[in-house]
Amino acid sequence: MTSSATSATALPPTVAAHVPTGVLVGGRWRPSSGGGTFPVADPATTEVLFDVADGTEQDALDALGAAADCAEEWRHVAPRERSELLRAVYETLTARADDIAALITAEGGKPLAESRAEVAYGADYVRWYAEEAVRVDGLARRAPAGGNHQLVLRRPVGPALLVTPWNFPIAMVARKLAPALAAGCTVVVKPAQLTPLTTAYVAEVVRAQLEARGLPTGVVNVVPSSSARRVSGPLLADPRLRKLSFTGSTEVGARLLEQAAPNILRTSMELGGNAPFLVFDDADLDAAVEGAVAAKMRNSGQTCVAANRFLVQEGVAAEFTDRLTRAFEGLVVGHGAAEGTTVGPLIEADAVDRVEQVVAEAVDGGARVRVGGDRPRGRGYFYRPTVVDRVGREDRLVTEEIFGPVAPVLTFGDEAEAVALANATPFGLVAYAYTRDVGRVMRLAEEVEAGMLGVNRGMVSDASAPFGGVKHSGLGREGGAAGIEEYLDPVYVAL
Ligand code: NAD
């Protein structure tokens, strides 16, 4: 059985004192124009941490007004100056990594070691785009027919709305905000209702740097709200907005695409996943189990790149499942800030109910729980790390994004069946494969319908690489050279 770590540790007062809880408009934190607030709670204890300004439609429009007012000035700021601003933000985030990690753990629940890794990962996007800001290339060439020249310049798309999910409160905003600012766009950020505190902290770091450098502080605006629609609706209908970058569920992404259509907005969509984790007979099983734990259990399984379906070749299925079960038995569930915790809570009560239900449905259909399969006693939104085998291919545990610490194991006979199973989903974000056969790796890269493939590793994310999916997992890429393109329009000059 998985064990429980010791008791909770509160958010250090030194950190709490520096968390803005207002709406950031035009460089100033202020209360909601409606006067309301909403609570943000620690999912491990259910205790309220802060009451945060409940942004209104008016706040959203004021924020867009501020972003639009300084769009011209910002786009003419020298790339080197934008680069140096981002580099300074990176240095500050890195210097304050422990404080930010404490905040991520307090509002999101993940163990402190994971929160520190998220700060490093998020800050890395800021460093990367500090470097990319001065490398926005164009094109100059003679037209193929001769007689004239062709130039291609890049221009920032203009004010952008950045909508982020709760599961990576620094990384998701960093990988939108940094390329937007590097490209010369101004922004309105709508953080997730469940985790707006880290975003506010990061925005204040940027605001302070803008102010210290005499740059326009309306470049970054933040509108937290208990109603996402109240913020996104009026902004998507406003012609001053030129770009929407969204990370979240496919369902909400599709709705926002519809709302973005009338204004023909540029959109980037980082949506849900249903990652297959393929283990072939020739795999190094120690590495596969280690990778499986990493790919499944980060943030208690609440990541878009979480391994959702363990597809294991028949020759090694029993051995792999036994070893994975033993690895899960060794995980320690508890408050993310408690010593020794390796698995934190889920984000809210509904999330635990849903995980419990999909596991129960699979068990009713004949699946077998090898470890876990229940909630530990006590407060907080916990669910035990769970391995389930004999799972049906049509179980919701397999067809839907689980978003919890549950690993369903299915088996396959040969490579063709593995690929067919991997592709039997509308999603296509990431796939993982464990094999020693390089020829097979290349075939999988060609045949598995996913934007990313992790080979013999349970983690693919890197600020320098293009992150994103195909099919219902999204449009566009974040990170790498591709990430800044999302905020630039090419302008072709025939000369
Ligand atoms: P969500 O779609 O519920 O919410 C995402 C954001 O959209 C939040 O800020 C939320 O307040 C806002 N939102 C919700 N309903 C809205 C509406 N009707 N109109 C406008 N905005 C609305 O997703 P979530 O629960 O925060 O995050 C989990 C989902 O995000 C999972 O599906 C996960 O796979 C996905 N995700 C994807 C990536 C990726 O890069 N592909 C990364 C992280 C999370």
- The residue whose two tokens read 């290339």 is 137
**Which residue puts its alpha carbon closest to atom 26 of ligand 1?**
165
For residue 190, tell me if it sits in a domain: yes
**What are the tens digits of pLDDT across the range 403-420?**
999 999 999 999 999 999
The model's confidence at residue 47, banded by pLDDT at 50, 70 and 90, is very high
Average pLDDT over residues 92-101: 97
Catalytic residue, candidates 118, 132, 270, 486: 270
Average pLDDT over residues 107-113: 97
- Assess whether 330 and 430 both reside in one domain: yes
**270 is known as an active-site residue:** yes
Whether 205 shows a pLDDT value over 70: the answer reads yes
pLDDT at 254: 98
Average pLDDT over residues 182-195: 98
404 lines ligand 1 (CB under 6 A): no
What is the Å distance from ligand 1's center to 271 Cα?
A: 7
For residue 467, tell me if it sits in a domain: no
- Assess whether 262 and 282 both reside in one domain: no
CATH of the domain at 68: 3.40.605.10
**Which residue puts its alpha carbon closest to atom 18 of ligand 1?**
229
pLDDT at 2: 42
Catalytic residue, candidates 304, 401, 478, 485: 304
Q: Which atom of ligand 1 is nearest to the CA of 304?
A: 34
- Assess whether 357 and 429 both reside in one domain: yes
**What are the tens digits of pLDDT across the range 423-453?**
999 999 999 999 999 999 999 999 999 999 9
What is the Å distance from ligand 1's center to 468 Cα?
A: 15
Q: Which atom of ligand 1 is nearest to the CA of 225?
A: 11
- Assess whether 415 and 448 both reside in one domain: yes
228 lines ligand 1 (CB under 6 A): yes
Its pTM surpasses 0.85: yes
Average pLDDT over residues 212-228: 98
**Which residue puts its alpha carbon closest to atom 6 of ligand 1?**
165
Whether 7 shows a pLDDT value over 90: the answer reads no
For residue 485, tell me if it sits in a domain: yes
Whether 3 shows a pLDDT value over 90: the answer reads no
- Assess whether 22 and 46 both reside in one domain: yes
pLDDT at 1: 38
Neighbours of 48 (CB within 10 A): 11
| Ligand 1 mutation pick, 167, 258, 350, 467, max ligand atoms within 8 A of CB | 167
- Assess whether 148 and 232 both reside in one domain: yes
What is the Å distance from ligand 1's center to 495 Cα?
A: 45
Average pLDDT over residues 332-348: 96
- Assess whether 321 and 422 both reside in one domain: yes
Percent of all residues in the chain with a pLDDT value above 70, rounded to a whole number: 98
Average pLDDT over residues 90-110: 97
What is the Å distance from ligand 1's center to 79 Cα?
A: 31
Domain count, the chain: 2
Contacts of 227 (CB under 8 A, 6+ apart): 54
Number of alpha carbons in the 13 Å side-chain half-sphere of residue 297? 26
346 lines ligand 1 (CB under 6 A): no
Q: Which atom of ligand 1 is nearest to the CA of 165?
A: 26
pLDDT at 9: 52
Average pLDDT across the chain, whole number: 96
Q: Which domain holds residue 216?
A: 9-271+473-494
**What are the tens digits of pLDDT across the range 302-324?**
999 999 999 999 999 999 999 99
The model's confidence at residue 479, banded by pLDDT at 50, 70 and 90, is very high
**What are the tens digits of pLDDT across the range 139-182?**
999 999 999 999 999 999 999 999 999 999 999 999 999 999 99
Whether 6 shows a pLDDT value over 70: the answer reads no
For residue 320, tell me if it sits in a domain: yes
For residue 179, tell me if it sits in a domain: yes
**What are the tens digits of pLDDT across the range 357-412?**
999 999 999 999 999 999 999 999 999 999 999 999 999 999 999 999 999 999 99
- Assess whether 300 and 247 both reside in one domain: no
- Assess whether 128 and 52 both reside in one domain: yes
For residue 283, tell me if it sits in a domain: yes
pLDDT at 257: 98
